[in-house]
Copies of this chain bind each other. A is one copy, B any other.
Amino acid sequence: MSTTPQATPRRATITDVAREAGTGKTSISRYLNGEMSVLSPELRARIEAAIARLDYQPNQMARGLKRGRNRLIGMLLADLTNPYTVEVLQGVEAACHALGLMPLICHAANEVEMERRYLQLLTTYRVEGVIVNALGVREETLRPVGSGGIPVVLVDRMVDGLVTDMVGLDNRAAAELGARHLLDNGFDDIWFVVQPFEQVSSRQLREAAFREVMSGQGGKGHEGGTGGKREGGRAGSNRDGSEGGVRGHTLVLNLGDQAAVERALAELDHAIDASGNPTRTAGRIALFAANAPVALCLALHLKARYGADWQARVALLSIDDPEWAELTGVTAIRQPTYEIGYRAVEFLHERIEGVQTTARDCLLPGELIVRASTLR
């Protein structure tokens, strides 16, 4: 060790500094809060020295207790396993850093109960606001924060009955973009594969938009304001659309249930096997994954079943652009994840500072990245 170990290196307090500088605590406090104009240069110098000598660092907890704000915000994540989450997190981190906020990260790991507990814990730390990538849909879950008067901004999905700022992908436009791309490239049998979506607004919107395009009525419109809920199909169910003979299906893939996944994949296999000659583009099925986890699950399965050359048999397009998409040549719609995180913090910051406008929705556009997978 290069430093002499000290006995009980109790951190210096404002009182210590005051004594060391031969002055009162008030002046130290003033110095800390940048009220320089009210301090004689002489005193100021002494304080500076004392602080340095004692390696003093003001206790944020105490400050927070006193002034009622501690610069802490909560960030509740549904699933760290999803690359999307991590990317958003980076934007959040950056924004926090820029705005002088400190994020408390909580990982609900897909368990609603955890989500509830963490929310409660966060209020206990008196965070000034919370960014939530919600798992549960019930406003009830958000009660601890929502009604507690502490600002909330939602990311990616909304929660019924809760009106707050939210920022995320323009799901409608993204799904349309993807569906159109597939249609334009001659695919006439398209499967939209998505996790159970009754509970998640973003999935709902994507599925609905896909279905609309497939049924030929796909307008170019943006998402509606608070986005009406829509009854989703049950697992394994699928509806057929029609745009000049093209077929569109929705396949639900419940990643949390191994058995269900296998059932759904079997259904898919059946369709693929029946899709006839792989060289006929018109006969090549296209899969439209609603997000990266789904896309990965599909890719892994297809590779296992059809070998390394699986893409010759099936085309894959994914919302989300995971790092392996480029590597495997899978077409993707990249979400502006970093910006989503950044904006979320900005919104929250404004609320914390007292902005009172009505709830805002910030819908950011996705970017289509065409790769070999969806080209003939």
A residues touching B (Cβ–Cβ < 8 Å)? Answer: 1-3, 6, 8-9, 11, 57-62, 64-65, 70, 80-81, 86, 89-90, 93-94, 97, 102-107, 109, 114, 120-121, 123-126, 139, 143, 147-149, 161, 163, 296, 299-300, 303, 308, 322-324, 326-329, 372
A198 to chain B, nearest CB (A): 20
- Specify which of B3, B64, B80, B114 is in contact with A61 (CB 8 Å cutoff): B64
A314 to chain B, nearest CB (A): 14
Determine the distance from Cα of A102 to Cα of B104 in the docked complex, in whole angstroms.
8
* Between-chain CB contacts (< 8 Å), 26 pairs: A2-B139, A2-B161, A3-B143, A8-B149, A9-B149, A11-B148, A57-B123, A59-B65, A60-B124, A65-B65, A80-B89, A80-B93, A90-B107, A90-B109, A93-B105, A93-B106, A97-B114, A102-B125, A103-B104, A104-B104, A296-B327, A303-B327, A322-B323, A323-B324, A324-B327, A324-B328
* Minimum CB distance partner of A329 in chain B: B308
A366 to chain B, nearest CB (A): 21
A60 touches B126 (CB 8 A): yes
A161 touches B1 (CB 8 A): yes
Determine the distance from Cα of A9 to Cα of B149 in the docked complex, in whole angstroms.
6
Determine the distance from Cα of A324 to Cα of B328 in the docked complex, in whole angstroms.
9
A67 to chain B, nearest CB (A): 11
* Minimum CB distance partner of A105 in chain B: B105
On chain B, the residues within 8 Å of A126 by CB distance are 11, 59-61
A21 to chain B, nearest CB (A): 20
Determine the distance from Cα of A60 to Cα of B8 in the docked complex, in whole angstroms.
24
Determine the distance from Cα of A58 to Cα of B125 in the docked complex, in whole angstroms.
9
B93 touches A86 (CB 8 A): no
A143 to chain B, nearest CB (A): 8
On chain B, the residues within 8 Å of A322 by CB distance are 323-324
Determine the distance from Cα of A326 to Cα of B296 in the docked complex, in whole angstroms.
10
* Minimum CB distance partner of A114 in chain B: B97
- Specify which of B58, B93, B124, B323 is in contact with A124 (CB 8 Å cutoff): B58
Determine the distance from Cα of A102 to Cα of B308 in the docked complex, in whole angstroms.
44
18 extra interface residue pairs, beta carbon distance < 8 Å, beyond A61-B125, A104-B105, A322-B323? A1-B163, A3-B147, A11-B126, A58-B124, A60-B125, A81-B90, A90-B107, A90-B109, A93-B107, A93-B109, A94-B109, A102-B125, A103-B105, A104-B104, A323-B324, A324-B324, A324-B327, A328-B328
